[in-house]
Amino acid sequence: MSEYACINYAVSNGVATIALNAPESLNAFNQQMRKELMQVVDDAERDDTVRVVILTGEGRAFSSGADLSEGMPGFDSFVGQCEAEYKPWLMGIHDSSKVYIAAINGVCAGVASAAALNCDLIVMAEDAYIYQAFSAIGLMPDGGATLLLLERLGYQKAFEMAIDAGKLTAQQCLALNIANKVVKPEALLEEATSWAQRLAEGAPLSQKATKQLMRRASRMSYSEVVDEEARLQSDLIKSEDATNAGIAFLKKQKPVFHGR
């Protein structure tokens, strides 16, 4: 375990687990936690032994969103605070070479919903839900949630969620292809960890290239996507991993990937 004050961080078998740890506030993002998230996301990215990252919350919630009781200490506007304390770790997840799995327990509200939707895969407990709390307090979605909701739900449903303080249960998220899996609450971390460990045995260069392109493909033309796939594929074909995996396939053996 790490020595972070508001985060529990551990690495095992190629999987890093980032657990928000302020259960008394339902893991609301306070300033300390935001600063620690910047560091821990960077730590996971720099650690060559980490291939998959799980983002979850300790206690009975993923996160209730921003800690509104703090205000904006050290900042004159949210523009400056977002640039300094939110965007770095949100972009760190978005641009990461690693696969991120959100394991959502309990409420996932406000900017926490943006953090979860920003992950590559989502596992939810049966009693978990995503809550767009912003309009209930006179605000609008932030943390990139407007784009993330739009990409997953389409305009009308995303707009409804945003302006009507909408909630989506785990089963609704599964039906809408927001969640990949829904499991019993007591099995959440076990399922997320098991999935993460399977992915950690996969081909990291392939996973990285696929994530990088899929994050951009919807805003590219078909022709541009075909060209970019060819460029990335060319690099993968020349990799040590692809060469060894081809040999293993012919020998009917399980390939071992080293990220080279």
pLDDT, tens digit, 9 for 90 and up, residues 169-212 = 999 999 999 999 999 999 999 999 999 999 999 999 999 999 99
pLDDT band at residue 166 using 50, 70 and 90 as cut-offs? confident
- Rounded to an integer, the average pLDDT of 25-29 is 96
Instruction: Give the C-alpha separation, 246 to 240, whole Å.
Output: 10
Residues paired with 11 in a beta bridge: 16
In this structure, the dihedral spanned by the alpha carbons of residues 212, 216, 218 and 222, taken in order and rounded to 10 degrees, is: -80
Which pLDDT does position 71 carry in this prediction? 83
pLDDT band at 164 (very low <50, low <70, confident <90, very high): very high
pLDDT in tens, 60-101: 999 999 998 888 888 999 999 999 999 999 999 999 999 999
| Interval 33-53 mean pLDDT | 97
Question: Nearest CA to 34 among 108, 93, 89?
Answer: 89
Residue 11 CA from chain centroid, whole number:
17
Average pLDDT, the chain: 94
Using CA atoms, how far apart are residues 120 and 98, in angstroms rounded to an integer?
9
Q: Which residues pair with 140 in a beta bridge?
A: none
Where residue 246 falls among pLDDT bands split at 50, 70, 90? confident
Report the pLDDT value the prediction gives residue 2, as an integer from 0 to 100: 59
What are the sequence ranges of the domains in the chain? 7-200, 204-250
Question: SS3 for 105?
Answer: coil
| SS (HEC) of 121-184 | EEEEECCCEEECCHHHHCCCCCCCHHHHHHHHHCHHHHHHHHHCCCEEEHHHHHHCCCCCEEEC
Q: Could you tell me if 46 and 62 are in contact, meaning their C-beta atoms sit under 8 angstroms apart? A: no
Q: What is the rounded distance in angstroms from the CA atom of residue 210 to the CA atom of residue 203?
A: 11
**50 pLDDT tier (thresholds 50, 70, 90):** very high
Is the pLDDT at 1 greater than 80? The verdict is no
Tally of CB atoms within 10 A around 250: 8
Angstrom distance (rounded) from CA 26 to CA 101 = 20
108 phi, psi to nearest 5 deg: -130, 95
Average pLDDT on 163-170 reads: 92
CATH number 1.20.1540.10 given to 7-200: no
List the one residue out of 109, 105, 145 whose CA is nearest residue 128: 105
**Whole-angstrom distance, CA of residue 166 vs CA of residue 175:** 16
For residue 57, which of 15, 28, 92 has the smallest C-alpha distance?
Answer: 28
